[in-house]
Chain A
Amino acid sequence: MIRASADSFTGDAMPRASAAGKLRVENLGVAFQREGATLPVLDDVNLSVRDGEFVCLLGPSGCGKSTLLNAMAGFLQPTSGQVLVDGEVVRGPDPRRIFVFQERGVFPWLTVAGNIGFGLGKLSREERAKRVQHYVQMVGLQGFEKSYPHELSGGMKQRVEVARALAVNPDVLFLDEPFGALDSITRMVMRSELLRIWEAERKTILFVTHDIDEAVQLADRVVVISARPGRIQQIVDVDLQHPRDISSPRYLKLRDGILSQIGLAHRI
C-alpha cells in the first residue's frame, strides 16, 4: 500500500482549506476551572486528518492528549474553537466515531458476544449474530463468545473493545492509550493486529500514546504535543511502508528526531 505524503507536512501551521480533511480541529482551546482558577490545558490546536489516515498523538503525561481526544469525540465541549468531521461541527458523541478506552470500557455484565453486539440494537437478530461472529473472528476470540470479561485476560478484553467499536462500522476510531495496561509482548501483538484491521477496514484512526516507538511503528503522522498548555509542537510524517523494519536507519532517524524534539537525549 502506498500512502501519499505530498499533502502532509511538517510544522504547526495548518492550511485552513484542506479539502480532503475527514476531521479538522480548528483553533481548539480547552481550559478547566479548578478551585476558582482557570487551567488552560489546550491552546490553539489546529489539525487536519485525512480520511483513512492513522494519526498518533504523542506527548508527555498531563499535556492534554486525552482532553484533545475527548473534545474530538464530542465528550467535551471546547472552550474555544471547534472540531469538524466531514465539514460538520461535532456537538456530541456519535456512533460514526467510536472511542476505545483501555480495556476498562468493556461492559462486565455482558458476554463477549453481548459486548460486541452492544451497538447493533437496530439490526435483526440474525444479522446481529452474523456481524458479531465476523468481528469475533477478526479479533481472534473464537470460542470465547459466551465468556464474561472477568474470565478474560487484559489483551482479550482490549480485543473485545476494539471489536465492539468496529462492529458498528464507524468512520473514525479514537484510541486513548489502548495498549497502555498490557505487557510488552501482548502490546506488540496488538499493534500488528490493529494495523492489520486498519488495512482491512480503512478507518480513520486517532491514537494517543506516550510511547515514541509505538507512535513511529503505527502512524502515518505523529503529532507531538508540548507540555501544558498543550500545543502542537511538531507533526512528523512517517514515510515508511508497513510492515516497518524497526531497525532500519530511516525508522531510527524518525524516532530519534522525535526524541530530541521532546527534549530527551539518546541516553537515560
Chain B
Amino acid sequence: MTPASRIHPVERWLWPILATAVFLLLWHYAVLWSGTRIFPSPREVELGLSQLTHRGVLYRDIVDSLRRVAIGYLAAVGAGIPLGLLLGWYPAAEQTVNPAIQLLRPISPIAWIPVAILFFGVGDDAAIFLVFLGAFFPIVITCVDAVSNVPLIYRRAGSNFGLTAPQVLARVVFPAALPQILVGLRIALGIGWLVVVAGEMIAVNSGLGYLIIDSRNSGKRYDLVVGAMLLIGIIGLALDAVFRRLESIKPVRWGFRHES
C-alpha cells in the first residue's frame, strides 16, 4: 500500500480546493491593499474573460492555440519516434547525427522565430513549426535513450523466437522502451504548449499568446493578460493530466511502478 492510497478520497479534492481558495483570497486582498490601478483582481479577470467569451473571441483563441500545438506536436511525434528508434537501434547512425542534434537542441525555439517567419511568413505554419521544433528534439533524444536502455535479454529473447530485426524492433524494443518514451512525449507536449504561446506573441494574429500581447498593447487590459495566463496554465495542466492517465494503462504500467 503506497502512502498516497491512504489519503481519504474527499481529502484528495478538499485540500487542493482549499489551497486555491486561499491563493485567490491572497491575490484579492493584495490588489485591494496595495491600491494598484493596473494589476487586476480575480474578480476583474473573471469579468474580462466572460466578456471575451460572450464575443466568442476567447473560444477561437483557445482552439487556435490547441490546433497549432496538436499539429506541430503530432508531426514531431510522427517524425521523432521512428527517427529516435532507428538511431537507438543503429548506434553508428546515432554517432553520426549526434553532434548535429546536440548542437541544435540547446537553441530555444524562441530563437527560431525570425527564421520561422522567414520560412513560413506570419501565420499558422510558423507557429506550428516552432511547436514542432520544441517537441521534436526531446522526443528523439528520449527515444534513443529508451532504446539503448532496453535490456539485452529482451532483444535476445526476441531473436531467439525467430524474429527478424524489424520484428524485434516493433515487437520487443518498442514496447520495452514505451514507458520511457511516454515520459519524453509528456515533457515534449509541455514544451509544445510553452512554445506556442511564445510563438503566437510574434508570429501570428490569434491564439492565447496573441491575446496576451494584444490585450497589453491595445489599452493595457491587464485583466485579459492575467486571464489568458491563467487559462494557459489550466489547459497545460489538463493536457498533462490526460497524459498521466496513459501511464496507468496496463501494457506500460510496469514502467511506472513507483507511481502506481
Q: Which residues of A contact B (CB under 8 A)?
A: 73, 75, 92-95, 97-99, 101, 104-105, 107-110, 118-119, 148-150, 168
Shortest beta-carbon contacts, A-B, top 5: A119-B161, A108-B254, A109-B175, A95-B162, A93-B160
Query: Cβ of B253 < 8 Å from any Cβ of A?
Result: yes
- The residue on B at minimum CB distance from A174 is B160
A102: min CB distance to chain B, Å:
9
CB distance from A151 to the nearest CB of B (A): 9
Given contacts A107-B154, A110-B251, 12 further A-B contacts (CB under 8 A): A73-B160, A92-B159, A93-B160, A94-B162, A99-B156, A99-B160, A105-B157, A107-B172, A107-B175, A118-B161, A148-B251, A168-B161
Task: State whether A105 touches B251 (Cβ < 8 A).
Answer: no
Query: With A and B bound together, what is the CA distance between A52 and B210 in angstroms?
Result: 75
Residues of B with C-beta under 8 A to A94: 160, 162
Instruction: Indicate whether B135 reaches chain A with its CB closer than 8 angstroms.
Output: no
- 23 cross-chain CB contacts under 8 A: A73-B160, A75-B156, A92-B159, A93-B156, A94-B160, A95-B160, A95-B162, A98-B161, A99-B156, A99-B157, A99-B160, A101-B153, A107-B154, A107-B157, A107-B176, A109-B176, A109-B251, A110-B251, A118-B161, A118-B171, A149-B254, A150-B253, A168-B161
How far, in whole Å, are A110 and B172 apart by their CA atoms in the complex?
A: 10
A238 to B175, CA, bound (A): 44
Nearest A residue (CB) for B177: A109
Assign chain B's interface to a size class.
20 to 34
Residue of B151, B161, B252 contacting most chain A CB atoms (<10 Å): B161
- B147 CB to nearest A CB, Å: 14
- What's the count of A-B pairs with C-beta under 8 Å? 54
Given contacts A109-B175, A109-B178, contact A148 B253 (CB under 8 A): yes
In the bound complex, do residue B252 and residue A109 qualify as a contact, i.e. CB atoms below 8 Å apart? yes
B221-260, CB under 8 A of A: which get 1 and which 0?
0000000000000000000000000000011111101000
B254 A150 Cβ-Cβ under 8 A: yes
A93: chain B residues within 8 A (beta carbon): 156, 159-160
Assess the A148–B250 pair: CB atoms within 8 A: yes
Q: Give Cα distance in the complex from A95 to B253, angstroms.
A: 29
> Given A95-B162, A109-B178, A119-B162: A104 and B156 within 8 A (CB)?
no
CA distance A49 to B172 in the complex (A): 32
- Complex CA–CA separation, A80 to B251 (angstroms): 42
B161's nearest neighbour on chain A, judged by CB, is: A119
Q: What chain A residues lie within 8 Å of B154 (beta carbons)?
A: 105, 107
Q: B161 — which chain A residues lie within 8 A by C-beta?
A: 95, 98, 118-119, 168
Which B residues lie within 8 Å of A98 (CB)?
Answer: 160-161
> Whole-angstrom distance between the alpha carbons of A93 and B157 in the complex?
9
Q: Which residues of A contact B178 (CB under 8 A)?
A: 109
For B171, the chain A residues whose CB sits under 8 A away are: 118
Nearest residue (CB) in B for A161 is B157
B159 nearest in chain A by CB position: A93
